[in-house]
Amino acid sequence: AQKITQTQPGMFVQEKEAVTLDCTYDTSDQSYGLFWYKQPSSGEMIFLIYQGSYDEQNATEGRYSLNFQKARKSANLVISASQLGDSAMYFCAMREGFYNQGGKLIFGQGTELSVKP
């Protein structure tokens, strides 16, 4: 069965430093997608970054990058130059199957990131 594991319930980072949030996944599919979402205290789910299983390069989106290590089944989120507004809960999620199949997401339990001034 597919599974997402986020082993860091909470993390602290100093403002302007980089931080890595860990995510490992388990699937037997060859086609899958990995997503990261941010959930601030206001509660909405904000899409950050996506990595497809066949994408050869690590995804980047502004200050966010995804360190994708397929053999290790890990998809860690790297936030560079942390800002106070980055304080939030971060969720890793996976979709099995190819992207044109309307895939369901399986979420990890989240990592709460706190950025210190």
Partner 1 sequence: NAGVTQTPKFQVLKTGQSMTLQCAQDMNHNSMYWYRQDPGMGLRLIYYSASEGTTDKGEVPNGYNVSRLNKREFSLRLESAAPSQTSVYFCASSAPGGTSGNYRGSTDTQYFGPGTRLTVL
Beta pairing class for 10-14 and 111-116: parallel
Which residues, 6+ apart, have CB-to-CB distance to 44 below 8 Å? none
Q: According to the binding rule CB under 8 A, does residue 100 interact with partner 1? A: yes
Per rule CB under 8 A, count of chain residues that contact partner 1: 25
Nearer to partner 1, 13 or 95 (CB): 95
- Among positions 37-76, residues that touch partner 1 (CB under 8 A) are 37, 43-45, 47, 50, 52
Cα dihedral 115, 42, 95, 19 in deg (nearest 10): 0
Q: Which positions touch partner 1 (CB under 8 A)?
A: 4, 33, 35, 37, 43-45, 47, 50, 52, 91, 93, 95, 99-110
